[in-house]
Structure 1
Amino acid sequence: MKHMIPLLLCGVLPLATLAQASPSVSQEKESSQVVTTTLQALEQQQMKQQAQAWGLSVEEWERYEQLKQGRRGLLSPGLDPLTMLGIEARTDEERRHYAELTVKQDYQRVEAELAFQREVNDAWPRLFPGILPVQDDESRLALFVRAECPPCDRKLTQLLATNRPLDIYLVGSGGKDEAVRAWAKKHNIPADKVKSRRITLNHDGGKWLKYGNGLMPVVLQQEGNGWQPAN
């Protein structure tokens, strides 16, 4: 019997070792589950934030993600969520919903851009009196026009055809953004060029009286000795 005790102990030790190892394996599994749960919560939170940024529900965002991975995503990979959901709308009501969301957000964007442009325009005479704003280093033209002015319309068409960077100043707008928007819409000013600031829409703010020499329309160009007529 005395000789059997070491043998029994030898058989018990591995079991004890396994018993000690079991909590470690269990802890690793629990830690992995905690990490997975945390990541899932973060993904859900991120999805919710992205959906809210576009005025969408989480369910609508999930459908957008599905469409992005499908045929529409391959055909049109650069579509924004509202456009993709609108194109792939399942009902007329859905299509109308996304169209209205798009219009509302575009309106807010244009309002913000015009407000910022107005602040930029106001900053120029405040910081650099007597100098007409220069938008960038490329040779831009400044076009001063009025509403209901056929010669202005002809000059606008001519300049748009050249594809040169253009800063348009609407004389007589009274500082009203709605007047500028209505004029731009009536004259089919390319929205993509306005968005990229290839074309800017501005209130005159008295600049025409200072630089226009009574001409209407008048086109100015930056030269070595300042802004000069380019008609």
Structure 2
Amino acid sequence: MKFRNIFFGFLRTWLLIVIFCSSALSAGTDMILILRDYQYTAADFPPYFLVEDPLNTGNFIKVLEEQNTFQFKTYNLSLEADLESYKAEVKPILIEWSEKTGLIGKNAKLSKRFSGLMESYVNEDFRGLDQGEIHIATYKGKISAISYTKDAIVGENPEINLLVANPSGLVENQTTLPKGGGSSLLDYMVRRYEEAGVEKIQLSSVNDEYYLDRGWQIAPKPEGACGGDG
């Protein structure tokens, strides 16, 4: 029985790694950000809404939130208290997002997909193996975006493994939920890395132009891990 538990535990871990790596590779281009070149501040990414143009042009215009801002929180998954808080506060949201139906647009569908992947990957079975962190951005107490990093702030080139925003807020022409949570959360994480003395960070992007416009660069193709060359 013990051998069987070990075997299925190994199989589960292997399957999750395969799913994670395959998704990361298919998600887009690996991007890097040299932190000494980073020039953005949290004020650059306030919450905003899309509203119909009052001139009845059929277009939508951006309206910035003037009274409320995004708030941030980090869960260190190696700490029992943080892990329990994640399971109570964040995991149900990831499950809810992963089960959303009727979503319109590529970004909303990707958010749904990666929400399920994040919930599966950040599993209590990894408690003894994983030293990762979960970061969230909230607006008026409700979670707007969630990110996962496999490692805490260590190493010379840490990687942001997954970052998702509320898929309902990514539906085309959606006007009732705040937007900008993902950008603000990424900015919050970049600042934490910068303050820790990290020189550069990496992520896998599905929108190259978005990151290129903000100082990111396309990373050289890695070798080895997750099916890379070599």
TM interval, shorter chain, is: under 0.3
Give the structure, 1 or 2, with the largest relative contact order (CA under 8 Å, sep 6 or more): 2
Which one has a larger percent strand, Structure 1 or Structure 2?
Answer: 2
If the length of structure 1 is used for normalisation, what is the TM-score? Answer: 0.25
If the length of structure 2 is used for normalisation, what is the TM-score? Answer: 0.26
- The structure having more radius of gyration, on CA atoms, is 1
